[in-house]
């Protein structure tokens, strides 16, 4: 037996040795799928296949490079002759040779995302359409979706459902933009990223006898990695390449369909990008008559048994799946810790507490720990808690929350309202959203300020500009002035919400209904929720410093946080990322946070069985990133869209057997009795995670009817109701006048004793 085959388990070896005919490899998480792919290619070459006859398609250039490096260790330099790369890079390579056959120059330009958006902006402007309705990014995504489903501009126009959708979104001219966009790209001799697939399919479809047959003859073996992530168009091209026909145009039964696809239906999580799970679910049926070989890689080399079995239990609730039973021989390991918190702020603190505990007890490095969340906007509370503990972290696949453009834009408005002398804030928002104050006007204002030793704000009232620019600047100054006047009466949240609306930021972001646009909108809402929490948080965090709820205080608080955002030289940082970004990665300790219905699973999936299945697959991906320690957290309440929302624990928590779980007592203020009583969950798990309103507090406040009493009426011994913590009893009151602080014992919550500043408290006397 060849040496590289000895490194494989029995099922992996069978998948590698099955070289002729269609092969489906179902690869569970941590099961060694990359090793199977690379050794299969190496084995083909070792058995006499020419490396240039092998086509291996991946989703990232990094995966392609790693594959070639691994192959070269077995077969040497021959690995460089394998056609291994991403769908886009391989197809672009073919189009460079064949593009003239579909009317494109072989030296065509490839438009990146910004190029495409700029072309669309020009078209929208030339058609005199409202750019706030016809947002370039949203239009681009719509056109991308059409191309990925092989819908031409003509087919788009003739599709009544698509046309009705555009009318409903108040964009009835979208099909005309699509038509103009295609014409402009062709005139410019350019293809965007979607065209690299769309035009290749067109090339193969329109040239069956020369081009299609040429590449069918060249690629005798086709391999596809992460097959569950392919979309309709990608699979259509793959099928073309193995759809062999004889001279009569009939299926050629003499040729083997040597296609091997590797993937995991349980990890199909990119439907929002167009991925079609049916590609992998239906693959067996489509190639059954060609004696398909099916191999299930079920041994997990990554995680301990509690984690693996929990993943198995969760995914069995999906309606459409390829049955498999993942197993591990790495031992039982630690039970999965479940942390329930009263608020999302407490959730952030307890996650940070647990990280400190794990670092001390198990000597984990920061780099061995990850916090995974459903949406990027959730990173805020965890960033703030990690900073307080001086734990280094990095937000993966995106900026730190407070460094995101839309967040910085709104904060810049708030800074300018508090301090009109803030030149950097002024420069950032003077023409955002666009209001007709161009760069030349800003330069003139800046020059006048420098020449006269005055601020840019003052210079704005003195500079000589065109009538249009003068009017725009006047409107801007009046708007900021009106906001400034409200700083005395309105609280920070009310003012920030007003600014977000009247500045035009919310309208601009709402008009962009792309995935990215919705993400930016979520970030703005999360920022506003953070301000709301800042304003209404009456609990004493630092006994030496009494809380100040002014907008100025909030901005100072944020500035102190963001000052710590600079990169550190060390690579030892805790990773914060969305679950989508975590696919393919692994960590010794993983925290999956925000496990509440309507958050994870997302509220957008609640009315669709298919979307709920995808959310469950996303949860499956999240928990299988963990090697040794898995922590699942949820909060009973959190601010969402400026309102205190009471959340049910995620239904996914119910789907894990109690024997794999352990409820964690509070980490902070834990005494020896609590330590002894920190026992695994018993058979009452379903009671703990029943999807009803949390009933631990004796009485829960309803925001709609909650009516706080004046703080001066609060006395020792009173029973009170708090918006976050529910029913409690005032045990002591310290201090006098505006400095009075109440100690309140709240029933039915972890860590029930809370210190609250009565000046800011919202308490209803019972």
Catalytic annotation, residues? 33-34, 225-226, 267, 625
Q: How far, in Å, CA of 31 to CA of 661, rounded? A: 24
Give Cα 16 to chain centroid, integer Å: 34
Task: Determine which helix (DSSP H) or strand (DSSP E) holds 592, and give its type and residue range.
Answer: strand 587-592
Q: How far, in Å, CA of 168 to CA of 163, rounded? A: 9
CB 531 within 8 A of CB 496: yes
CB 740 within 8 A of CB 546: no
Compute the half-sphere exposure of residue 619: CA atoms within 13 Å on the CB side of its CA: 34
Q: How is 231-291 classified by DSSP, letter by letter?
A: BHHHHHHHHHHT--B-TTSSB-TTS---EEEEE-GGG---GGGTB-THHHHSHHHHHGGGT
| Block residue for tokens 């029973």 | 719
Biggest alpha carbon distance in the chain?
Answer: 97
Compute the half-sphere exposure of residue 687: CA atoms within 13 Å on the CB side of its CA: 6
Per-residue tokens: 403 = 């460094």
Residue 24 phi, psi dihedral angles, 5° rounding: -115, 120
* β-sheet with 83-86: strand ranges across: 83-86, 54-58, 221-224, 259-263, 23-27, 293-297
Q: Which of 114, 112, 137, 113 is nearest to 124 (CA)?
A: 137
Q: Which of 372, 414, 444 is nearest to 624 (CA)?
A: 372
Tell me if residue 422 falls in helix, strand or coil.
Answer: coil
């Amino acid at each position: 037996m060849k040496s590289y085959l000895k490194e494989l388990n029995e099922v992996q070896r069978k998948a590698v040795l099955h070289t002729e005919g269609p092969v489906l490899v179902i690869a569970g998480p941590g099961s060694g799928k990359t090793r199977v792919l690379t050794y299969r290619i190496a084995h083909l070459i070792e058995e006499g296949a020419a490396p240039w006859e092998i086509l291996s398609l991946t989703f990232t250039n990094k995966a392609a490079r790693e594959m070639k490096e691994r192959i070269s260790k077995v077969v040497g330099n021959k690995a460089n002759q394998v056609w291994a790369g991403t769908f886009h890079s391989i197809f672009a390579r073919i189009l460079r040779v064949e593009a003239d056959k579909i009317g494109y120059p072989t030296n065509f330009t490839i438009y990146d995302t910004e190029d495409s958006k700029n072309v669309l902006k020009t078209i929208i402007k030339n058609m005199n359409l409202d750019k706030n309705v016809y947002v370039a990014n949203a239009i681009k995504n719509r056109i991308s979706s059409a191309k990925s489903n092989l819908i031409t501009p003509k087919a788009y126009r003739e599709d009544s459902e698509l046309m009705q959708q555009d009318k409903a979104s108040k964009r009835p001219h979208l099909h005309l933009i699509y038509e103009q966009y295609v014409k402009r790209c062709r005139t410019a001799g350019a293809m965007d990223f979607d065209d690299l697939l769309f035009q290749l399919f067109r090339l193969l479809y329109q040239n069956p006898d020369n081009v299609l047959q040429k590449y069918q003859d060249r690629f005798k073996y086709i391999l596809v990695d992460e097959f569950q992530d392919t979309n309709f168009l990608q699979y259509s091209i793959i099928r073309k390449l193995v759809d062999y026909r004889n001279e009569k145009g009939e299926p050629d039964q003499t040729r083997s369909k040597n296609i091997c696809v590797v993937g995991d239906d349980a990890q199909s999580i990119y439907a929002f990008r167009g991925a079609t799970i049916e590609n992998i679910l239906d693959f067996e049926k489509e190639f059954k008559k060609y004696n398909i070989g099916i191999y299930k890689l079920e041994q997990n080399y990554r995680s301990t048994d509690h984690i693996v079995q929990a993943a198995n239990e969760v995914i069995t609730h999906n309606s459409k799946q390829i049955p498999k039973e993942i197993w591990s021989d790495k031992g039982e390991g630690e039970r999965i810790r479940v942390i329930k918190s009263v608020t999302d702020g407490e959730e952030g603190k307890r996650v940070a507490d647990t990280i400190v505990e794990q670092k001390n007890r198990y000597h984990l490095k920061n780099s061995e720990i990850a916090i995974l969340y459903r949406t990027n906007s959730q990173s805020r509370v965890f960033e703030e808690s990690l900073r307080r503990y001086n734990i280094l972290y990095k937000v993966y696949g995106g900026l730190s929350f407070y460094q995101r453009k839309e967040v910085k834009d709104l904060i810049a408005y708030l800074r300018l309202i508090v301090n009109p002398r803030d030149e950097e804030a002024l420069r950032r928002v003077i023409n955002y959203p666009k209001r007709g104050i161009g760069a030349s006007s800003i330069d003139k204002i800046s020059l006048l300020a420098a020449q006269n030793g005055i601020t840019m704000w003052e210079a704005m009232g003195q500079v000589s500009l065109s009538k249009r620019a003068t009017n725009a600047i006047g409107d801007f100054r009046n708007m900021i002035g009106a906001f400034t006047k409200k700083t005395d009466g309105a609280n920070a949240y009310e003012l920030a919400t007003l600014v977000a609306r009247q500045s035009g930021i919310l309208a601009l972001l709402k008009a962009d209904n792309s995935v990215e646009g919705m993400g930016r909108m979520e970030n703005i809402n999360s920022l506003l929720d953070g301000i709301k929490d800042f304003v209404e948080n009456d609990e004493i965090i630092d006994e030496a410093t009494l809380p100040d709820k002014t907008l100025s205080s909030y901005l100072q608080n944020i500035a102190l946080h963001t000052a710590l955002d600079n990169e550190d030289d060390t690579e030892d940082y805790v990773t914060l990322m969305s679950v989508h970004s975590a696919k393919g990665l692994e960590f010794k300790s993983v925290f999956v946070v925000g496990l509440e219905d309507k958050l994870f699973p997302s509220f957008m999936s609640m009315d669709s069985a298919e979307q709920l299945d995808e959310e469950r697959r996303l949860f499956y991906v999240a928990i299988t990133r963990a090697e040794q320690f898995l922590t699942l957290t949820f909060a009973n309440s959190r601010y969402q869209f400026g309102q205190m929302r009471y959340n049910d624990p995620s239904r996914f928590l119910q789907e894990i057997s109690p024997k794999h779980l352990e409820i964690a007592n509070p980490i902070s203020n834990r005494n020896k009795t609590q330590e002894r009583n920190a026992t695994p969950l018993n058979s009452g798990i379903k009671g703990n995670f029943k999807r009803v309103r949390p009933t631990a507090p004796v009485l829960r406040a309803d925001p709609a009817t909650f009516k706080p009493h004046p703080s001066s009426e609060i006395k020792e011994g009173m029973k009170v109701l708090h918006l976050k913590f529910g029913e409690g009893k005032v045990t002591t009151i310290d201090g006098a006048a505006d400095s009075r602080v109440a100690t309140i014992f709240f029933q039915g919550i972890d860590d029930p004793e809370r210190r609250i500043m009565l000046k800011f408290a919202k308490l209803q006397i019972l």
